[in-house]
Amino acid sequence: MKIALAQVRSINKIGFNFGVCEKLIKEASEHKASLICFPECFAFMGTSATETIANSGSLDSELFKSYQDLARKYSINISYGGYHEKSSNDPHKIFNSHILVNNNGEIINVYRKVHLFDLNTEKVKLKESEITEFGKDLLVDDGGLIFSNDLKIGLSICYDLRFPELYILLRKMNNAKILLVPAAFTKHTGELGHWKTLLMARAIENQCYVIASAQVGTHNLKRQSYGHSLVIDPLGKIILDLGSQEETFDLDIQEKEPFEGKLGFVEIDDWISNIKKVREGMPVFDHKRSDLYDVITKKD
């Protein structure tokens, strides 16, 4: 089974971003990949909250239907890792939605980000909660529909990475074996080592493969992303790193051709047996002292 990982630098031009995504989807299909994973904000990276809201849309919008059509056209499953879904509750709000689409162009499941990124440091000031509603469903997986019930995919988005309980529950309650973590991780926190360290930790503690597609480079005057889309095995070993594309950090996106994306592939002979070997060799979930502590979902 082959999985494609897309690293892009989205900007505030819907048509350009769509063209980059189609190019990468076509390439992944030609390489016989079963699934291609895109990062957060794949369809649009705005320069302001107002611009982001104005370019959001429902899952019934013509824009997202066009993205569904790409899955059908190229016969490939797609993880669209963070779409600005217009809220039906408030015209001034959106959801940050991770959407799985099968190779028939059908939406399998939607995860709406539950942890919103509000950062206030000397170098970076971002407040996602100003325009984004909190997701209400903690546990979301693909129901075994992308590959099989023995190889379930668990969904998350970017800042969720800092909350290990979410991933523990994805394994404990859904028996997830692949954790998807699409992101637009900031260059500042990435260079501090947070991105790789946290992804490796989530892989090791849950004994899962982690697939983390990322934005890269300078999107606008306010926003830079770290890059380094990664695939990590259940022992915490990095088996794919798409790098940082450092040259894009200084690129004048108004005057030169924007970065048109990068694709990486992982092809593993037997995902399930690899995970089984790790979990049986060190059965950490059997060793958890649930008589002393436990991670549970909140009861209604």
Active-site residue list:
40, 113, 158
**Measured between alpha carbons, how far is 40 from 56 in angstroms, rounded to an integer?**
14
Picking from 84, 83, 1, the residue whose alpha carbon sits closest to that of residue 36 is: 1
**Measured between alpha carbons, how far is 93 from 86 in angstroms, rounded to an integer?**
7
Yes or no: say if 275 and 209 are a contact pair by the CB < 8 Å rule.
yes
Please provide residue 5's backbone torsions phi and psi, each rounded to the nearest 5 degrees. -120, 125
Three-state DSSP state, 211: strand
Yes or no: say if 224 and 248 are a contact pair by the CB < 8 Å rule.
no
**Measured between alpha carbons, how far is 83 from 49 in angstroms, rounded to an integer?**
15
**Measured between alpha carbons, how far is 273 from 114 in angstroms, rounded to an integer?**
32
**Measured between alpha carbons, how far is 263 from 222 in angstroms, rounded to an integer?**
26
CB atoms within 10 A of CB 60: 8
**Measured between alpha carbons, how far is 255 from 233 in angstroms, rounded to an integer?**
40
CB atoms within 10 A of CB 300: 3
For residue 139, give every residue at least 6 positions away whose Cβ sits within 8 Å of its Cβ, in sequence order, or none: 169, 170, 173, 174, 297
Helix or strand run (H / E) with residue 181: none
**Measured between alpha carbons, how far is 227 from 245 in angstroms, rounded to an integer?**
7
